[in-house]
Amino acid sequence: MDNELPWIEKYRPKTLDDVVGQPEIIRRLKSYVEHKNVPHLLFSGPAGVGKTSASVALARELFGKEFERNFLELNASDARGIDVVRGQIKDFARTLAFDASFKLIFLDESDALTADAQQALRRTMEKYTKTARFIMSCNYSSRIIEPIQSRCVVFRFKHLSLNDLAKKIGDIAKIEGIQLDESALSAINYVSEGDLRKAINVLQSASSVSKKINDKTIFEVSSRARPQEVNEVIMLALGQKFLEARAKLDTLMYDYGMSGEDIVSQIYKQLIDMPEDKIEGKTKIELINILGEYNFRISQGANERIQIEAMLAQFMKFKK
């Protein structure tokens, strides 16, 4: 039953019109449906912006009742070797479509395919063009070899705007009987960063706490600090108040359960957004350089608590 599904599945777009935030891309995909012909496609863009949803919706509109027999979806991060291309993909591509002129093969996260698999795929795409078309989605098109890119029409998906995200979240909240205030919508946009999948997951998590949701609930369930709290840590460090900054850091890490990488990522986001009257541009550049260094150290396994406090100590060199 739909009520038992996670919301990201329950509210997954069923048609191309349901995909939000990509009007030009949807317009072009609809023209393929109208003409009943599709070239090889490469969907590139950040996570949670509609690449998979658009692919499945395109196939549903093309094939109708024969959707399941004519559409193969594989996640390349799970099945990424040459054997998959030579076996499962080739076997599906070589057979004739049911009540259609071609089949669709969707390779999600195709930038995870090995170099050998991509070379084998290039030949498969060429050989079975009459019976199959490929849709490849990826976060980084630069990881797809040039011969494959040249065989595909490239669609570049963009981050969703606040209006697009707010409309979709608002529609879901209305259906689920949730009261969202403006602060909650702003908080969802802040923590999701244009990723609708993340936004829907955060909304579902918050709804389990209360049917009346504000920004406090959103930040708590997403383990993110409020922007003003992160700003306070930065300004305390720049104001030569190390112990106060360290105490505030304790609050963020223990109350919100934030990791060292979470702290670095959110400080980076707040530094970028801070106006010039608080931190001048040259100082921002130096601070971001420090953030990059300590983010690398944490990613390499250094003690995150020591590294975060050392980072604050480095910030103190730039007295406000």
Mean pLDDT of each 10-residue bin along the chain, 320 residues long: 74 89 93 91 92 92 88 72 68 80 88 84 85 90 90 91 89 91 89 89 90 88 87 90 89 82 90 85 90 93 90 85
Domain locations along the chain: 2-156, 162-221, 227-315
pLDDT recorded at residue 24: 94
pLDDT recorded at residue 84: 65
Closest CA to 293 of 308, 283, 280: 308
pLDDT recorded at residue 2: 54
Q: Residue 199 CA to chain centroid, in angstroms?
A: 10
CA angle, residues 177, 181, 187, in degrees to nearest 5: 110
Class of domain 162-221: mainly alpha
Q: What's the whole-model pTM score?
A: 0.81
d(CA 109, CA 87) in angstroms, rounded, equals 19
Query: Which residues does 264 contact at the CB level (< 8 Å), separation at least 6?
Result: 291, 294, 295, 298, 308, 311
d(CA 309, CA 307) in angstroms, rounded, equals 5
Q: Residue 197 CA to chain centroid, in angstroms?
A: 7
d(CA 228, CA 233) in angstroms, rounded, equals 9
Number of residues in the chain:
320
Bridge-based pairing of strands 132-138 and 179-180 is unpaired
| Torsion sign, CA atoms 88, 92, 95, 98 | positive
pLDDT recorded at residue 78: 61
d(CA 154, CA 198) in angstroms, rounded, equals 25
CA angle, residues 117, 158, 190, in degrees to nearest 5: 115
E strand or H helix at 37: none
pLDDT recorded at residue 114: 82
Q: What is the DSSP string of 145-208?
A: -HHHHHHSEEEE--PPPHHHHHHHHHHHHHHHT-EE-HHHHHHHHHHHTT-HHHHHHHHHHHHT
d(CA 177, CA 171) in angstroms, rounded, equals 10
CATH topology identical between 2-156 and 162-221: no
Query: Which residues does 171 contact at the CB level (< 8 Å), separation at least 6?
Result: none
d(CA 228, CA 248) in angstroms, rounded, equals 12
d(CA 196, CA 49) in angstroms, rounded, equals 6
Ramachandran region, residue 46 (left: φ > 0; alpha: ψ -120 to 50; beta: rest): beta
Query: Which residues does 263 contact at the CB level (< 8 Å), separation at least 6?
Result: 249, 252, 253, 308
Query: Which residues does 241 contact at the CB level (< 8 Å), separation at least 6?
Result: none
Closest CA to 45 of 169, 195, 149, 165: 195
pLDDT tens for each residue of 72-88: 888 765 655 566 666 77
pLDDT recorded at residue 59: 92
Closest CA to 204 of 14, 48, 3: 3
Helices (H) and strands (E) in the chain, counts: 17, 7
Whether the Cβ atoms of residue 99 and residue 66 lie closer than 8 Å to each other: yes
pLDDT recorded at residue 130: 86
Class of domain 2-156: alpha beta
Class of domain 227-315: mainly alpha
